[in-house]
């Protein structure tokens, strides 16, 4: 049985390199579509474990392939439902169905096809929040079905493509990255905690931290969005990180960093922050880069972080561009 893995289209070759580094150069991998690959001979539990541990950072969603059909040969809905149910050890009360395409479409027609067929068999269908996930990818030439337990899927969104609503309250697009990291990795921020936001302007990550109950020190010479200025639990330090650290006497529970600098410089900034964070405190940082070798650049940044942090997760999330999100704890 093959495992299907989803990536950002321009990161596919880096994901292949990571998988072969982890499981051997002879592992069979083929490209299904721009952002979907197929790997044979590796259990999904093993692949998910390597991704969760941060040894594979460019894969963002997994499912176990059960069938593939040409676009003109797709069976009727009731046949697809039978195929899915035969793959499960126990008859389910509910399943999540997640459909996506290799174009701008949402895959909604495939979702509704499977939803109706499974409902006719007495199975409740939702888009997320179930222990077992049915994946349906519609490419230009084929439709591929997969099944996986949520715990090994890496993301509870179709192909790892997390969709977050845009609202008038949002300060910046960067908020999506922090929201996705918190949801994807199941992070729990301490109730009533103190958080440090490095490079905060205009305050997107600060706003998300406040939504999670944190009192926030926002460090940036730039200004914060006017909508944040009346919040007494936001303390804007309009200075550089270095000057802030020289004068700071607060001990933080959480530190985040979405600063625009290369991977190693950003990681070194986190080393400077570490003495100001409680032992076991949570750290979230985006390591930016890209270039000719984004994988090696990310690894160098993570090696620097490990001087004062235990790296828990590292992944190129859907809302990351030429960057990865790293989650760590102070040692």
CA angle 107, 319, 166 (to 5 degrees): 75
Cβ–Cβ under 8 Å, residues 286 and 309: no
Separation of CA 295 from chain center: 16
Q: Which residue has the tokens 């499974």?
A: 118
Q: Tokens standing for 165? A: 């609503």
Residue 222 CB coordination number (10 Å):
12
Find the Cα–Cα–Cα–Cα dihedral 15, 20, 21, 22, rounded to 10°: 90
Distances (CA, A) of 282 to 23, 78, 85, 189, 285: 30, 47, 41, 8, 10
Q: Among 177, 194, 288, 308, which one carries the catalytic annotation?
A: 288
Q: What are the CA-CA distances from residue 190 to residues 56, 57, 174, 195, 254 (Å)?
A: 28, 26, 22, 10, 8
- H/E segment holding residue 40: strand 36-40
Q: Which residues contact 197 (CB under 8 A, 6 or more apart)?
A: 203, 205, 206, 209, 216, 217, 218, 219, 256
Active site residue 177: no
Active site residues: 288
């Amino acid at each position: 049985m093959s495992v299907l893995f989803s990536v950002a289209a321009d990161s596919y070759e880096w994901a292949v390199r990571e998988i072969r580094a982890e499981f051997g150069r002879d592992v069979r991998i083929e490209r299904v579509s721009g952002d979907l690959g197929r790997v044979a001979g590796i259990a999904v539990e093993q692949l998910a474990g390597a991704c969760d541990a941060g040894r594979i950072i460019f894969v963002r969603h997994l499912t176990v392939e059960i069938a593939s059909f040409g676009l003109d040969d797709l069976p009727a809905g009731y046949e697809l439902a039978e195929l899915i149910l035969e793959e499960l050890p126990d008859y389910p009360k509910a399943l999540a169905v997640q459909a996506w395409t290799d174009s701008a479409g949402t895959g909604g027609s495939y979702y509704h096809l499977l939803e109706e067929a499974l409902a006719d068999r007495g199975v409740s269908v939702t888009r997320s929040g179930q222990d077992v996930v049915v994946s349906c990818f519609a490419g230009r030439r084929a439709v591929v079905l997969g099944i996986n337990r949520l715990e090994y899927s890496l993301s509870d969104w179709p192909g790892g493509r997390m969709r977050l609503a845009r609202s008038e309250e949002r300060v910046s697009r960067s908020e999506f990255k922090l929201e996705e990291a918190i949801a994807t990795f199941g992070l729990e921020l301490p109730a009533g905690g103190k958080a440090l936001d490095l490079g905060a302007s205009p305050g997107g990550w600060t706003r998300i931290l406040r939504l999670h109950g944190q009192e926030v020190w926002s460090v940036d010479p730039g200004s914060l969005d006017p909508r944040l200025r009346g919040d007494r639990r936001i303390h804007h330090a309009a200075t550089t990180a270095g000057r802030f650290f020289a004068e700071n006497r607060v001990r933080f529970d959480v530190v985040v960093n979405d600063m625009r600098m290369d991977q190693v410089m950003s990681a070194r900034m986190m080393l400077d922050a570490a003495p100001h964070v409680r032992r076991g405190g949570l750290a979230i940082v985006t390591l930016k880069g890209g270039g000719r070798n984004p994988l090696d650049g990310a690894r160098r940044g993570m090696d620097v972080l490990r001087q004062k942090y235990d790296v828990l997760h590292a992944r190129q999330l859907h809302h990351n561009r030429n960057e990865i999100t790293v989650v760590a704890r102070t040692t």
